Amino acid sequence: MLYLKKYFTEGLIQFTILLSLLGVRVDVDSYLSNQLPPLREIILGPSSAYTQTQFHNLRNTLDGYGIHPKSVDLDQFFTTRRLLNQVRQLDRLSVPSTELNTWLVHRDSETVVSTSSQPSPSITLDNGGGLEDVNNPDATPAMRGGSVGTESTYNLNAEDSSLGAVAPESNQEQPGSRDGNDDLSKEDIDLIDILWRQDIDLGAGREVFNYSNRQKESEEEEKPSPRENKDGNEEQERWRNGVNLQGAQPVDGETGESIPEQFPAPVVVTAEIDSNEEVPSTSQGLPLAPLRPAGETQLDLEQQWQDIMAIMELQAMEVNSSSPNSSSSSDSGTTDSNTVVNFGLSTRSTPVNQDVSLHQASLPSCSQDFPPIFYPQVDSTTTPPRTTMLRLSSSNSSSINSTFGATNLTGIFIPPHVNSSSTNITSTPILPDPFSNLLEESMLDEISLLDLAMEEGFSQAQASQLEEELDSDSGLSLDSSHSPASPSSSETSCSSAASSSSTSATFSEEGAVGYSTDSEVATAEEGAVGGYQPGYSKLCRMSYQNPSQFHGLPQLENISHNHTYNLPLSSVFAEDPELPISSGKKAMKHSKLQPPQDLYDKHSSRDERRARSMKIPFSNEKIINLPVEEFNELLAKHHLSEGQLALIRDIRRRGKNKMAAQNCRKRKLDTIINLEQGVHDLRRNKGRLLKEKMEFIRSIRQMKQKMQSLYQEVFTQLRDEEGRPYPPSEYSLQYSADGSVLIMPRGVTTAEQHRKPEKKQKDKKK
């Protein structure tokens, strides 16, 4: 029986694990099918947060929390635990690998991003659609260049700096994490390289280059290269390729124009690039791995994964074009099928957002970085601003001085590097970033909470449970985690603590009443409930009266206490003489081939024996259980000596006290169980609240990123009367009372707005 149970348990667990895995897949698929293709592969990797979450849940469910040490389920518990640990290890192993893949992908895409980032602006330039674009291609290109420059580790940089147009090569040369590269055959790549180099060697200008590039693209289109399926499937392709998405799409040259664009830009802005090299492009140039100091990898795996999840959510919103931000940007940006014209300003926001997502995805540690704002005038700095990335976590939270609804956007969207204490930029004003501050504090609070929880005596399992509850987005966690800790858990495992406790409680009350009843009632009560059942082991017993059921079960064989508290010995022997075991330890011990009378005496309690020796004319049961009045009547009916009366009173007192002691102990146990349950519930509640907090933090982060990108978009497109851009270091955007956005010199309060003639009003596009 035991082994059967064991095997069944193991099999069940394994089956559950398999189901979990399958369920995860299914869930992920369904989830990703909602347009989260980019991370599909990442998530569908060996491990996923979903998987982890479910395992956590499963673990919690079977964690054994609350299992009484004596519970017969302990064996199962350990088996379960072992299996689950194995699964968990698998899960954890897989997570890093997934992230690693993401990282690599991102880096490639990053390279691509720099190239790709240009398409939108460059396209605008080519088309001349943007008024300001012609005048200041610098801004965006410079930023691109900056982003490129930042990635000095890539071949692309060198080529970019010299030729300003080799990105595709580099991309192709990159061992392919990129989809485009993957799809391209080596011949195609070689051909592309040759053609590009020819163009470059011939000194082809940007336009020429573009043209040739297009021709090549068209030529290649004739070939069955995978790239060409972009038309209809490109987006899908991109998504499938994961993080590359953004970078890949321009590079893939669905338009063919995007690629060339990027190169000229750096050339034109060379001087600025130098100065801004370190400055990531506003829209896309999010410095990633290269820029990030190794020591800054502070965020743990958990945080990283949460970032990825946040990215997924963000991307999902964007892809759905349901993003509240923009009706225009989202739709145009997400779909590659859009024509070149679509890459106008309106589309930028999307790439920006995607970049943000990308960075987070690929560089979880950078997840909180904010895209820096491009500063055209920063060139003055001999030491280019280092890593314009703002690490939210690293920046110290001085104070949250403004709410999100603050009219002044300056503080909110100050270039990230401004906040970093390590930055050398002196020209740019340092303004607090409320969002980052808020985020920091929230994160810190959470971390501190977790730490506190650990310090408070959270067991590892409980802490992991909390973690899981924080992690798990699925609704499974709560239900599954609800568990063993509570009496109800043991309820499921055996006869159930809850049920037994409740029933026993009920019966205990009845038992009290039962004292006044006859022996049959008492016997029935004990048979049903066993009176007071101390300990879980007893609670778990289906029926102590028939321990033979558990023969062969070692754990249960050890449980053989006498629970016939209220049962007089006479009734014990009279009603169940065949089962000496049921009569308890004493019965077992004394049941060894002893004469019936001797046995009878031995099994008698002291009071029984005393009563017999004193020749008390009625049973101890009556003495104990009769109501006071009846008891007095009984005493009055018989002529009893003082000794007999004293003994009878003692018997009654002790009998009642014995029952009272049993009830008292039972109540203690119930109280302990309830307290445990309460603690468990509180912890669950705490975990839930923390989870909610995490979600809020995540959403705030997303909002901040979106606002950041929007701010940058708007700001970089602003031009004064002479067509010059406003230097972000000198101007900032502020809300006006009517909801419009004003550009104002920094340091000028809203009250002084009227003094600035150059201020412009511009509708803020979402």
Sites of contact with DNA (CB under 7 A): 70, 512, 515, 532, 534-535, 537-538, 558, 561-563, 565, 585-586, 588-589, 605-607, 627-628, 631, 650, 653-658, 660-665, 667-668
Task: List alpha helices for 62-176, DSSP H.
Answer: 74-117, 119-127, 131-135, 139-150, 155-162, 167-173
DSSP state of 680: H
Shortest reach from residue 690's CB to DNA, in Å: 34
- For 31, the token pair is 């989830």
First and final C-alpha spacing in the chain: 67
Query: Buried b / exposed e across 561-597, counting CB within 10 Å, b at 16+?
Result: bbbbbbbbbbbbbebbeeebbbbbeebeebbeeeeee
| Residue 327 exposure: Cα atoms within 13 Å on the Cβ side | 0
Residue 452 CA from chain centroid, whole number: 19
Coil, strand, or helix at residue 30? helix
Question: In 3D, which of 367, 375, 371, 324 has the Cα closest to residue 351?
Answer: 371
Residue closer to DNA by CB (options 339, 671) is 671
Q: Supply the minimum distance, in Å, between the C-beta of residue 9 and DNA.
A: 24
User: Toward DNA, which CB reaches closer, 2 or 267?
Assistant: 2
> Edge-to-edge strands of the sheet including 731-735?
731-735, 741-745, 761-762
Q: Is the dihedral of CA 10, 16, 22, 25 positive or negative?
A: negative
Please name which of 273, 271, 277 lies closest in space to residue 387, comparing C-alpha atoms: 277
Instruction: Compute CA distances 100 → 96, 104, 116, 192, whole Å.
Output: 6, 6, 23, 29
Q: How far is the CB of 608 from DNA (least distance, A)?
A: 9
Helix (H, G, I), strand (E, B) or coil at 496: coil
Rounded to an integer, what distance in angstroms lies between the CA atom of residue 538 and that of residue 501? 11
Q: Which is nearer to DNA, 227 or 652 (CB)?
A: 652
Q: For residues 698 and 310, is the Cβ–Cβ distance under 8 A?
A: yes
**Cβ-based nearer residue to DNA, 524 or 664:** 664
Quick one: 372 or 568, whose CB is closer to DNA? Answer: 568
Residue the block writes with tokens 């506190």 = 452
Among residues 561 and 765, whose Cβ is nearest to DNA? Answer: 561
Backbone angles phi, psi at 42, to 5 degrees: -60, -45
Closer residue to DNA (CB): 574 or 660:
660
Of 304 and 562, which CB lies nearer to DNA in the complex structure?
562
| Distance in Å, CB of 524 to DNA, minimum | 18
CB of 671 to DNA, least distance (A): 8
CB of 585 to DNA, least distance (A): 4
Taking the mean position of all CA atoms in its chain, how far away is CA 665?
42
* Residue 111 burial (C-beta neighbours within 10 Å; 0-12, 13-18, 19+): buried
* Phi-psi domain of 24 (left: phi exceeds 0; alpha: psi -120 through 50; beta: other): alpha
Distance of closest approach, residue 507 Cβ to DNA, in angstroms: 13
Min dist. Cβ of residue 560 to DNA (A):
7
- Angstrom CA distances, 648 to 260, 462, 513, 620, stand at 109, 54, 20, 8
**What is the b/e burial string over 731-760, where b = at least 16 CB atoms within 10 angstroms of the residue's CB?**
bbbbbeeeeebbbbebebeeeeeeeeeebb
Residue number with CB closer to DNA (244 or 562) = 562
Name the amino acid, one letter, at 370. F
Least separation in angstroms between residue 629's CB and DNA is 8
Residue closer to DNA by CB (options 243, 587) is 587
User: Would you call 112 helix, strand, or coil by DSSP?
Assistant: helix
Residue 566: CB minimum distance to DNA, A: 9
Radius of gyration of the chain from Cα atoms?
A: 38
> Residue 734 phi/psi, 5° resolution?
-135, 150
* Residue 154 or 536 having the CB closest to DNA: 536
Q: Which is nearer to DNA, 606 or 639 (CB)?
A: 606
CA dist 91 and 55 (Å) reads 8
Rounded CA-CA distance 754/766 in Å is: 26
The token pair that represents 281 in the structure block: 């492009």
Nearer to DNA, 81 or 603 (CB): 603
Q: Burial level of 452, CB count in 10 A (0-12/13-18/19+)?
A: exposed
Q: CB 5 → DNA: shortest distance, Å?
A: 22
Output 449 or 559, the one with its CB closest to DNA. 559
Give the SS3 label for residue 127: helix
* Smallest gap from residue 667 Cβ to DNA (A): 5
Quick one: 226 or 535, whose CB is closer to DNA?
535
Six token digits for residue 487: 């009496």
CB of 544 to DNA, least distance (A): 9
Q: What values do phi and psi take at 761, rounded to 5?
A: -110, 130
Query: Token pair for residue 519?
Result: 């022996």
Question: DSSP letter at 260?
Answer: H
Residue 128 CA from chain centroid, whole number: 46
**Minimum distance from residue 446 beta carbon to DNA (Å):** 38
Nearer to DNA, 196 or 544 (CB): 544
Which amino acid belongs to residue 556? Answer: L
In the complex with DNA, which residue's Cβ is closer, 209 or 515?
515
Residue 439 phi/psi, 5° resolution?
Answer: -60, -45
CB of 568 to DNA, least distance (A): 11
CB of 526 to DNA, least distance (A): 11
Give min distance, CB of 659 to DNA, in A.
7
Which of residues 66 and 250 has its CB atom nearest to DNA in the complex? 66
**Least CB distance from residue 561 to DNA, whole Å?**
4
Q: Residue 761: in which H helix or E strand, if any? A: strand 761-762
